[in-house]
A and B are shown apart, each in its own frame.
Chain A
Amino acid sequence: MTDQVPAAENLSPTDEALSVLQNQFPNAVRRDDRDGYSGIVVDPARLVEVATYARDSLGYDYLSSATAVDYLGKGDHLEMVYHAYRTTGGAALVIKAQTDREAATLPSLTPVWPGANFQEREAYDLMGIRFEGHPNLKRILLWEGFHGHPLRKDWKEPYYEQEQKPFDSRWPNGRVVRSEEHNPYGKNVQYPDDFDLDGYTSPAEAAVYEEMNLGVDIRSDLATERMVVSLGPQHPSTHGVFRMVAQINGETIQQLEPVMGYLHRNHEQIGERNTFLQNMPFTDRLDYFCSLSNNLGYAIAVEQLMSLGARYQPPTYRAEVLRVLMAELTRIVNHMVAIGFLLNDLGAFFTPMMYAMIERELILDFFEAVTGSRMMCNYMRFGGTAMDLPERIRGEANLVNDRVRDFNTMEFLRELILERLPRAVDQINEYLTTSEIVTNRCIGVGVLPRADAIALSTAGPVLRASGVAYDVRRAEPYSIYPELEFDVVVRDHGDIYDRYLVRIEEMIESLKILRQILPKLEETQGQPFFAGRGGIYSPRVPAGESYGRVENPKGELGFYIVSDGGQNPWRYHVRAPSFINLTALERMSKGYKIADAVGILGSIDIVLGEVDR
């Protein structure tokens, strides 16, 4: 379908799509002309038509992000924002639809882009927009029965102090009082005025099993029975507090529904109270294996917004080199651990994991020496990085054979990148790739066809293992990736084995990038790692919106940020790859055995901090 797309290099995709769409749908489509905004605003009544046309005729076949914004006091409407891309690369077509705050209803776009499924449920859960035609519209992150829709601007959390940080109670006078002391229950709770506990039964659990035909159903003519099982949230193979409710017939999965929200810790709502820079450490805790590449995604999103204003200085070259160095090392950490976890799920309990953890520890030593923290690095800043590489890596806490570590940083990196990591990747490749455990349980299991992979908005290794050569580093390049030489790894079968192989090969590609980074690091030594004067604590972020995305190890990580020109983001949305990749879990698992579901989940490589946010 993408062959018919007219090549329009000089026109921006929005301009081109806008003119086409305006001809096609007069009166229903208009340009979003607010300052700093882009895209088109579509009449809700014709939203499905316009989206179908954009997908089929304009080639925007990949819905990256769908999220809602509450413009309370700024027009008093709720706005749904869709970012659609072409899988051949290029910039986004941003489609918006507005609805009244009171009776918020929009047509569901799941028939057009099935990948909107969970994202629309999230918008319903947190913003209270009802989607007509959605197949399964119920709360996703919170539980059924929760009061209110917390991301609405007029909803206040129990510990509410002020709209925006810094709170007066903490700064400048700093008389901090424990929030519990203000709450009549001494806890982080609040109840609606008319709530009566007597005779109350919680609808939370029942809603999970809705439409699942709970119970056991044995038919005399069948040798097997149909039943509903719940895996998790405490289950050794669900990678954290994830839960799957599956309807199985015998051992075969007929229906599977991911249940999440057990780690929903309100990144977005807290992010909207925080100042822009205060969000940086919170991004560390999204995908906690890849804190550095999360930092990068957020920095890019805010820098995009800052670039609209005056006096913006882009990051220095040294900063970009450092960023890519960190992002690619993170990719290796993540893929190592992902493969270790996958093998755990496949039955090689913890032995490959131990090998993966050794390499992770070495890279973490480097992160700790540079950023000060093993996992939560908080390293990127708007316009550069927080600090440069140290001269030497040393630390008494990290004893190797009881010797105090003391290395020259560049020597340490050179050994790590040129010798240690290639050897480790080879070792994993050699022992696992042809192992019988891996091949028997992975080949031909959990197949996700190419068309479904695109339609369900999967990203990262899951998408590329299904034969789609889509990598944000190439499709919409950022940082210094255009001048680096590497291949986008693609595999065609879309099964667990291919997803595993994609990860192995991506590690090899990352090492290739890192080898090109090493000389750049030496060339740029001593150059500034921060644009401008450095130490900007309150960046000037002009009003507008931006969607910054990076190719995280787990897939495309996007940050949708709306600024009203103040010190805090008006809307801070995270397009989390793990969350959206889970949309495809049911499609992958249907028809396979319940034991395979565990391996399939492992091959998607989710991390709950990012799924639930």
Chain B
Amino acid sequence: MTDNGKDFLRELHDPEAPVPPELQSSVAVTSFGRLLSTVYNWGRRNSIWPMAFGLACCAIEMIATAASRFDQSRFGMEVIRASPRQADLMIISGTVTKKMVVPIVRLYNQMAEPKYVLAMGACAIGGGPFKEGYNVVSGIDKYLPVDVYVPGCPPTPQALLYGFIALQKKIDQQMLTNPNSVPWYGRGPSEAVPLPILGPDVIDPRQAHMLRRRAGAAGQEAAASPAAESDLEAEA
């Protein structure tokens, strides 16, 4: 629990049912939902199991973070699991390529909820130095919901640890009683992210309607993409 017991108790107070000041030292719980959420989150934030999943350069700094000098086990995160089924946190540690985004989305779908995604480094955030490359996805958030972004190329282990702390703070804010705070507190299973298809280029099934519309209006489409290019040229 937090270092200061009083602070922790104050967290349990429900702002909608305030405790009179004279009772604050003896009354702890005014809301069962808040108590349950706090206990849930406390357990969850201190036992986040990352997936053993390295993509590129950042993965090496991720290993350095796990090694003895920086020691991420101080945060209860040292149990690095090779299987997505046992992992809570997916650290996208490196450049996401079009070829790799398919397995990444599949792995994300295989992870059991609650699950978090941390985008580590410039490439995972937005393509980084390789953004203009023909095989590079401009950031994993084009496909997956990202919880924490850790900038850097690569981020130092200290930066990654800061990202972990940010994630813990985020987990602290989640409420069991609020089904909208996170998908897994809602009713029913949450939807899987559709798998991208490796066609002539990578295809996001969520954009399939755009592709069809474009194929339908064969003539207009020819006008659309050169227009974008001519914009560029005009600026240049």
Listed in ascending order, the chain A residues whose CB lies under 8 Å from chain B are 141-143, 145-147, 150, 157-162, 167-169, 175, 177, 179-180, 182-193, 195-198, 200, 202, 204-205, 233-236, 240-241, 261-266, 269-270, 273, 281-282, 285, 288-289, 353-354, 357-358, 360-361, 374-376, 397, 608-609, 612
Contact = CB atoms under 8 A, between A and B. Distances in A.
Contacts of A269: 133-134
Interface residues of B, number: 67
B121 to A, nearest CB: 11
A609 B59 CA distance: 11
Contacts of B229: 160, 182
Contacts of B53: 234
A192 B235 contact: no
Given A191-B200, A192-B200, A353-B67, A263 B132 contact: no
A240 B135 contact: no
B202 interface: yes
7 A-B pairs closest in CB distance: A266-B133, A147-B200, A288-B57, A357-B67, A157-B134, A204-B198, A236-B82
B154 interface: yes
A266 B212 contact: no
B199 A183 contact: no
B187 interface: no
Interface stretch (B1-9, B21-29, B112-120, B136-144): B136-144
B138 A179 contact: yes
B109 to A, nearest CB: 13
B228 interface: yes
B190 interface: no
A285 B119 CA distance: 18
A358 B68 CA distance: 7
B134 A150 contact: yes
B199 A179 contact: no
A169 B233 CA distance: 9
A125 B224 CA distance: 29
Contacts of A282: 129
Nearest to B198: A204
Pick the most buried of A160, A264, A289, A360: most chain B CB atoms within 10 A of its CB: A264
B57 A191 contact: no
A159 B200 contact: no
Contacts of B222: 193
Contacts of B142: 186-187
Contacts of B39: none
Contacts of B131: 159, 179, 188
B225 A184 contact: yes
Contacts of A270: 129-130, 132-133
A161 B131 CA distance: 12
Given A264-B99, A285-B129, A190 B212 contact: no
Interface in B201-220: 201-204, 207-208, 210-212, 214-215, 218
A376 B60 CA distance: 12
Contacts of A177: 235
B17 interface: no
B136 A188 contact: yes
B103 A233 contact: yes
B156 interface: yes
B156 A143 contact: no
Contacts of A357: 63-64, 67-69
A375 B57 contact: yes
A305 B175 CA distance: 63
Contacts of A285: 56-57, 129
B19 interface: no
Contact of B215 (A142, A185, A197): A197
A182 B107 CA distance: 30
B61 interface: yes
Most chain A beta-carbon neighbours within 10 Å: one of B133, B134, B136, B158: B134
A241 B55 contact: yes
